[in-house]
Structure 1
Amino acid sequence: MTATTLYAEAQTTAGRVRGFWRGEPGAGGSAAFLGIPFAKAPVGDLRFAAPVPVEPWDGVRDALAFGATAQRGDAGITLIPEPSVPGESTLNVNVFTPVPGDADAALPVLVWIHGGGYVSGSPASPWYDGQTFNRDGVVTVTISYRLGFDGFGHIEGAPSNRGVRDWLAALEWVQANIAAFGGDPARVTIAGQSAGGGAALRLLAMPAAQHLFHSAWALSAALADVPVDRSRALSARLAQLLGVAPTREGFASLPEEAIRDQQRKAATPASRDRLAGVRAVLGDGLSLGPAIDGDLITQPTIAALRDGVGSGKPLLLGATDDEFTMVTDSARGALRFVPASFALARLHVPRERRRAWLAGNRAQRRLGTAAVLGRFATDTVFRSTVVKVAEARGAAPTWVYRFSWPSPTRRWSLHCLDVPFWFDRLDEPHVAAIAGDAPPKDLAAAMHGAAVAFVRDDEPGWRRWADSPGVTRVFGGAASVPDVVPDGYASARALV
């Protein structure tokens, strides 16, 4: 902050907070309120507890810097810049608004849930700044939640799905407080990418969350839906690796970093086969994430959607064309003479399934086996999920998109590439690494415009899936591809 910084204040249920302006108030400016706690710090006796409401404070609390993140240390080079912030009070929200303190403004609200495979990620990314949505009349909130084993691991004597409970607590905070920041609690859209997209779908499919939001947008949703027996098995293996009892007392006796260092090993199959881990993820899904606990979550996400949970809420979802091909691309030399069918067989894909999928992906086969494997992983984890969710929703208001623009620096329309376009944050310095020095601004205008229209009016601008099953808006496709195609995910249908 500088001597010329303009401050803004708002009243929350716990006390008054002070944020700061970027730009001029009332002239396109955006006020940021950072690191506002929605629950007590999850440390000590609260480490493995459900989130506990924060204690009220006297006076005005500064909300001028991002709060502590559940992600610790340097996460290394990631596609999305997501900094770690040290500290204990990791359950916090960031609010970006053009009209702080105006309870009568009643602007639509976007709540963003970050990704990171449920084990990493940060709400403090510059890509998630709500300034561009503020420009378009949308109040924006980014939320934090507990990650990895602390957030999602099975622990005897502790409440399950603590990270999910953090989402619910943050959304409760939004319901109680967003009017003070100019937002309308009756018009909240939840959105997220990767694990954040999975979170949006999981919340959409949870009866306990229905009162907390109006609509949802899921970008490249990574579902978990971990079966309880698998969750218990991971907990037992982790406890064995750490030399403690698989109980709340046992895990609480260890520092956070000790568990974090071993959780990946506990989730990796004990096998000398280098493909065992890949098969486990493609076949069984993620090991840490929302679990079917029989309490807060009683059904897998798609089953709950098929049963009509969330059917009254508008949903928009989609994926990039090649989420994972950047990974397999590094092996294209070694895979040059390996037949695609043989490679899929090594992943234990059943014969009829792989034949049907390969028949629907002849164009990808012409790009080589590395491209085939990347698309297969993409279809298994992300693109088939889009179709499954849309079909499970039946007549519910659902729209589907694809992001097809290939990165000039990474060759493919890869995981995370769509995020700065969705936020219209192409001028952020970190974007060039993934999108090149001159990413198309018209593509950002189209995708961000669809997001604003959906948040504001429940209508992104193309036909609903139920009105024309398969209909898909294509963002960034080749010049020969129309903006809207009749069956945008036809090549993934063999995996549905």
Structure 2
Amino acid sequence: MSKLSLLVAVAASLTPPAAQAQVVQVSGGTVRGATSGAVSSFLGIPYAAPPVGENRWRAPQPVSNWAGERDATNYASDCAQAPFPPDAAPIRTTPAEDCLYLNVWKPASAEAGARLPVMVWVHGGGFVNGGSSPATYSGVNFARDGVVLVSLNYRLGRFGFFAHPALATEGFGGNFGFLDQIAALKWVQANVAAFGGDPGNVTVFGESAGGMSMHMLLQSPLARGLFHKVIIESGAGRDRSLPTPTMAQAAAAGVAFAPGLDAAALRALPAERVTGDLSMMTMEQPGYAGPMLDGRTLVGSGVDGASAGLYANVPVIVGANSADGFPRTIDKDAVFAPYGTLEAEARKVYDPDGKGQGLAVAVATSADMTFIEPARVIARALAPRQATFLYRFAYARPEFAAMGGAPHASEIPYVFDTVETRGTVGGMIKDPRPLAKEAAVAKLTHRYWVNFARTGRPDGEAGVPAWAQATADDTTVQVIDAKGAAHVEDPIRIRVDFAERVAKAKR
């Protein structure tokens, strides 16, 4: 054998088996992905028919079969939306109405039937922005650690959440974006085994609007049996976090947007007209309802559903970030005025010496009311029935000091172990390169999520700090910060107790 032939033979013997397994059969046909190192990725796989034309404002329809191998090496379009420049996780595609696609990352060596744990990511963005394409959401490092990671798009804005009297055959419309999420989970059940995933061990997780979607999935009878564990990151849970109109109220918003149109005319509207200027900056407008109480996906608020025992009986991680707020003002008088008869007490709790900075005070009050207190009440409600773990992510880069902690969505790069892909977070970070201490925070946070997907417990591994389950009257929380993690008496318990009192008083 010549030296050249010998080199070719040696090279062939070193080629990993996964390089020969990039073609996978899924519903609709075969897809060809790409392998880089120890991970194979399959991007832009359709899980439903394009929701355009006659399929606009209808439940997701089955995928049509395609011939040959479908290229799955690039993201498909994220769902139609108006630009939102401050986004900490900007999408990397040109958004379009044709957007019902998902992505899969798996260990390159995993073969069909390997029965690896599966995680399904649902992105945030207020139900009007976001997508599966941001670099921060890459599933590479989950796959590196033995998980099959799936991320998905779902219809946003008026495409995803719309009602109108003309849509009588669709029950006046509804939460099409939620139906998309459920359709994607059905696709996972039918197809993930071909990627080496275990359809009997699916953890679904999401942040912000994605976290709110977790509440929907836990309570919706349409989602039963499609998942086995849930992680709720900054998912709120009380009605005040995001208005949830009735179907009649949502239909009135639809009429305000498109008065006098029949179903055919509605479906013929240009996509740009439906999108409009709706974004995280302009959500509060009369022609947009957002997620509505349709009785099929959303039955009620998260707190009410969990307290009434309506949630699926599966292990749950739930929590929020330490500065998880969206202040409307930094004027302290304006911050405290809405507390009414409790204003004096609110000032004592949040600004006892009157010297607090307006931004930090505003963020704290907003965070407690919107995300931190609801996470605790959800954990307490679920704890008697199912394994529940409450957390507070508190690692904050120095740039966030004025906010008083870790801002909304800042935990995501640590969960995905993708800190190196993070951008400037709306201009707040001048130099986004990872700091030395961030690697340890990412390693631990990511490990907790991976362990939970594997076993239903985030801890239980050597070198990983213990994490106790929540109880029905819990005042403790697992704090993840620069020092690592510890299960401690809640350092802001006085604030959270007060926020709970305010919430009960407003009901």
Q: Same fold (TM over 0.5)?
A: yes
The aligned counterpart of 1:475 is: 480
State whether residues 83 and 125 of structure 1, in contact with CA within 8 Å, keep that contact through their aligned partners in structure 2.
yes
The aligned counterpart of 2:229 is: 215
Please give the per-residue CA displacement for 1:143-163, whole angstroms capped at 9, x wherever unaligned.
110000110122231342100
Instruction: Tell me the secondary structure at the aligned position of residue 174 of structure 2.
Output: coil
Instruction: Tell me the secondary structure at the aligned position of residue 108 of structure 1.
Output: strand
Is 1:261 the counterpart of 2:264? The answer is: no
Instruction: Tell me the secondary structure at the aligned position of residue 378 of structure 1.
Output: helix
State whether residues 474 and 484 of structure 1, in contact with CA within 8 Å, keep that contact through their aligned partners in structure 2.
yes
State whether residues 71 and 121 of structure 1, in contact with CA within 8 Å, keep that contact through their aligned partners in structure 2.
no
Q: Distance between the aligned counterparts of 1:266 and 1:418, measured in 2? A: 25
Offset at 1:442? 0.8
Offset at 1:324? 3.1
Tell which deviates more after alignment, 259-268 or 227-236: 259-268
Please give the per-residue CA displacement for 1:17-37, whole angstroms capped at 9, x wherever unaligned.
1000011xxxxx111100000
The aligned counterpart of 2:489 is: 486
State whether residues 207 and 309 of structure 1, in contact with CA within 8 Å, keep that contact through their aligned partners in structure 2.
no
State whether residues 76 and 93 of structure 2, in contact with CA within 8 Å, keep that contact through their aligned partners in structure 1.
no
Offset at 1:72? 4.1
Is 1:405 the counterpart of 2:395? The answer is: yes
Offset at 1:429? 5.5
Q: Which one-letter code corresponds to 1:474 in the other structure?
A: V
Whose radius of gyration is greater, 1 or 2? 2
Q: Distance between the aligned counterparts of 2:297 and 2:219, measured in 1? A: 11
Unaligned runs of 5+ in 2: 1-14, 460-466, 501-507
Instruction: Tell me the secondary structure at the aligned position of residue 212 of structure 1.
Output: coil
Is 1:466 the counterpart of 2:507? The answer is: no
Question: Under a length normalisation based on structure 2, what TM-score does the superposition of the two structures give?
Answer: 0.82
State whether residues 318 and 402 of structure 1, in contact with CA within 8 Å, keep that contact through their aligned partners in structure 2.
yes
Is 1:438 the counterpart of 2:428? The answer is: no
User: What aligned pairs does 1:84-483 form with structure 2 within 5 A after superposition?
Assistant: 84-99=93-108, 102-156=111-165, 157=167, 158=170, 159-222=173-236, 224=242, 226-228=244-246, 229-239=248-258, 244-245=259-260, 248-261=263-276, 263=278, 268=284, 288-324=289-325, 335=331, 340=332, 342-346=333-337, 348-352=338-342, 354-362=343-351, 366-395=355-384, 396-411=386-401, 412=403, 413-428=406-421, 430=423, 434=429, 436-439=432-435, 440-461=438-459, 462-466=467-471, 469-476=474-481, 483=486
Q: Distance between the aligned counterparts of 2:314 and 2:288, measured in 1? A: 29
Q: Distance between the aligned counterparts of 1:246 and 1:361, measured in 2? A: 50
Q: Distance between the aligned counterparts of 2:182 and 2:109, measured in 1? A: 24
Offset at 1:319? 1.1
Q: Distance between the aligned counterparts of 1:397 and 1:287, measured in 2? A: 37
Unaligned runs of 5+ in 1: 24-28, 271-285
The aligned counterpart of 2:503 is: none
Q: Distance between the aligned counterparts of 2:102 and 2:312, measured in 1? A: 28
Q: Distance between the aligned counterparts of 1:482 and 1:151, measured in 2? A: 38
Offset at 1:138? 0.6
Please give the per-residue CA displacement for 1:312-348, whole angstroms capped at 9, x wherever unaligned.
20110111111236x66xx76xx4xxxx3x32354x3
**Aligned residue pair count:** 455
Q: After the TM superposition, list the runs of 4 or more consecutive aligned residues in structure 1 that deviate by more than 6 angstroms.
A: none
State whether residues 407 and 436 of structure 1, in contact with CA within 8 Å, keep that contact through their aligned partners in structure 2.
no
Tell which deviates more after alignment, 85-94 or 104-113: 85-94
Instruction: Tell me the secondary structure at the aligned position of residue 420 of structure 2.
Output: coil
Offset at 1:252? 2.3
Name the % identity. Answer: 30
Tell which deviates more after alignment, 429-438 or 301-310: 429-438
Q: Distance between the aligned counterparts of 2:353 and 2:41, measured in 1? A: 44
State whether residues 191 and 218 of structure 1, in contact with CA within 8 Å, keep that contact through their aligned partners in structure 2.
yes
The aligned counterpart of 1:26 is: none
Question: Under a length normalisation based on structure 1, what TM-score does the superposition of the two structures give?
Answer: 0.84
Q: Which one-letter code corresponds to 1:216 in the other structure?
A: V
